Amino acid sequence: MDLNRLSSAEITNLWTHYIRESMAICVSKYVLKDIKDTDIRSTFESALRISNNHIKKLKKLFTQEKFPIPNGFTDEDVNMKAPPLFTDNFWLMYIYGMTMHGSSLFSLAFNSSARQDLRDFYYQCVNDAMNLYNMSLDVLISKGLYEKSPYFSTPQKVDYIKDLSYITDILGKKRH
């Protein structure tokens, strides 16, 4: 088994990562042209910096593997003269959601990579996504925009299911 040769999963992860990052760069540039809120701007500046860094590393990996660099998204794919599409707060929610997805996808890429250099890269990508997630969450909280999950009432004791009668409450009356 040749662990130095890229596996199909590793190639897929690198290729899709490149496409996602090139899109993220376009979105971040578009958002940054109009965003007013300094905290949200700072979050997108960090996101742009991270995406540019990832693209640079991905290009280096493709080049050293003699693998063609994918045709990702470019400045030609975005109309920078278009008026703002959304509010600053919407974009904050967007980056928050995207960092959740990114950290999950990077974890999957990490777990499906055998090569040490790829595991190191995706380990860093997970950390980058988690740092950006923390930054966006902190801004959401500071602006009072974060919606916490609902609470459960604290049970007084451990209770075990003894029969299936609880299901009839969900499905309606028990049929005989």
pLDDT tens by residue, 108-162: 999 999 999 999 999 999 999 999 999 999 999 999 999 988 988 888 899 888 7
Helices (H), the chain: 8-32, 38-64, 88-111, 116-142, 165-171
pLDDT of residue 4: 87
For 63, 109, 143, 155, the CA distances from 106, given in Å and listed in that order, are 21, 5, 28, 37
* Rounded average pLDDT over 170-176: 57
Selection from 63, 60, 70 nearest residue 23 by Cα: 70
pLDDT of residue 173: 59
- Helix 116-142 vs helix 38-64: angle between axes, to the nearest 10 degrees? 170
- Are 129 and 103 contacting, i.e. CB atoms less than 8 angstroms apart? yes
Average pLDDT, the chain: 92
37 CB-near residues (< 8 Å, 6+ apart): 88, 89, 92
- Are 29 and 51 contacting, i.e. CB atoms less than 8 angstroms apart? no
pLDDT of residue 140: 98
Proportion of the chain above pLDDT 70, given as a percent: 93
- Are 74 and 134 contacting, i.e. CB atoms less than 8 angstroms apart? no
- Band of residue 8 on the pLDDT scale cut at 50, 70, 90: very high
- Band of residue 86 on the pLDDT scale cut at 50, 70, 90: very high
Cα 8 from chain centroid (whole Å)? 22
Identify the residue with better confidence: 175 or 145: 145
- Band of residue 49 on the pLDDT scale cut at 50, 70, 90: very high
- Are 72 and 19 contacting, i.e. CB atoms less than 8 angstroms apart? yes
Assess whether pLDDT exceeds 90 at residue 80: yes
pLDDT of residue 162: 79
Cα 27 from chain centroid (whole Å)? 14
Which pair of structure tokens corresponds to residue 25?
Answer: 């760069």
- Band of residue 167 on the pLDDT scale cut at 50, 70, 90: low
pTM of the model: 0.85
